Amino acid sequence: MHLQVMHISSNARRVGHMKALVTGGAGFIGSYLVEALLGRSQAVWVLDDLSSGSKKNLQRVSDSPRLEFVKGDCRDTITVRTLLKRTDVVFHFAANPEVRIELVDPKECYARNIEATFALLEQLKTSKAEAIVFASSSTVYGDARQIPTPEDYGPLLPISVYGASKLACEAMISSYCSSFNKKGIILRLANILGTGSQHGVVFDFRKKLKKNPYKLQILGDGKQAKSYLHIDDCIDAILKASDSLTKGGAAIYNIGSADMITVDEIAKVVVKVQKLKDVEFEFTGGVDGGRGWIGDVKTMLLDIRKIKALGWKPKLNSKQAVQKLVHELKSLED
């Protein structure tokens, strides 16, 4: 596979410090993480094939002499091996970013999540890099019977290919860390909100309302209730968790808000912030008891006591996170 190396900073190679490697660093969460790591005076490699990410997401830090961008794939052995020679910790955030994509192409989900993670771990096990921090998902829990759901809940029975692929990656990371004496952190993320993302319920609602400001179609019965976390809180949690790395195995942390919000409540927030009136809500009814789509977990709330014990807690609840995002998107348009 031929990879094109593009230097965001021409000075990056002259920096003598060891680096963090962020796979998927040009994506939504990855780009915010890159900015935060640079803010900690950390040197950073970004590896991204730009299939869903964009170099525009890194514009805020494009002049940093401690940042270097490589266009490539985790499955490219030579590229990953080269990067790991100068890496202390890997933040593995490269993945299929959308749960619903699996319904169209499960093989793509498998390749971008499971195959890519395996290829990365194969190079990590013999490298000088000491640790890996993995962005997993609340979808690994499936329809959990225990709400809020703690990290030791089981059995884990995902109802989507996406959730299954994330769970497979978790298992591989745990085994590689134990077998090859690496440090590991697995982060089970709730729904993360922020500018830079191009999918999710808030973006769907805004897109529909632009086409028709008087009628809003809502997938499912509108009573799907889930935890939403703003990207600023998410990044703070990732950094807090990564500071707790210990060798042998992989520690797991839930990252989310302490409450839930329903889909119809989100719709009301979007309509109110955008100052729309007389909007009619049209519910599709969905599938399988009101889900928005096949594989949609209807109720999700994570038990976050473990990450809170490290000294982190979200500044915003789910509704406030939604409100902040809608205001941020509106201000970008004004």
What's the pLDDT score for residue 245? 80
Q: What is the DSSP string of 209-242?
A: HHH-TTEEEESTTS--EE-EEEHHHHHHHHHHHH
Phi, psi of 132 (to 5 degrees): -135, 135
250 CB-near residues (< 8 Å, 6+ apart): 132, 134, 170, 173, 174, 177, 178, 184, 185, 186
Over residues 13-60, the pLDDT tens digits come to: 333 355 899 999 999 999 999 999 999 989 999 999 998 899 999 999
Per DSSP, the chain holds a count of helices (H) and strands (E) of: 10, 15
Bridge partners of 192? 229
| Average pLDDT in the chain | 91
Question: Are 121 and 139 spatial neighbours (Cβ–Cβ below 8 Å)?
Answer: no
CATH hierarchy code of domain 197-227+260-298+316-333:
3.90.25.10
Phi, psi of 179 (to 5 degrees): -75, -30
Which residues belong to CATH 3.90.25.10 in the chain?
A: 197-227+260-298+316-333
Residue (of 298, 274, 288) closest to 216 by Cα position: 274
pTM score above 0.85: yes
What's the pLDDT score for residue 178? 94
What's the pLDDT score for residue 325? 97
Rounded-to-integer distance, Cα 208 and Cα 215, Å: 8
285 CB-near residues (< 8 Å, 6+ apart): 220, 221
The residue ranges of the chain whose pLDDT is under 70 are 1-18, 98-102, 247-248, 334
Which residues belong to CATH 3.40.50.720 in the chain?
A: 5-192+228-255
Superfamily of 5-192+228-255 according to CATH: NAD(P)-binding Rossmann-like Domain (3.40.50.720)
Rounded-to-integer distance, Cα 125 and Cα 250, Å: 14
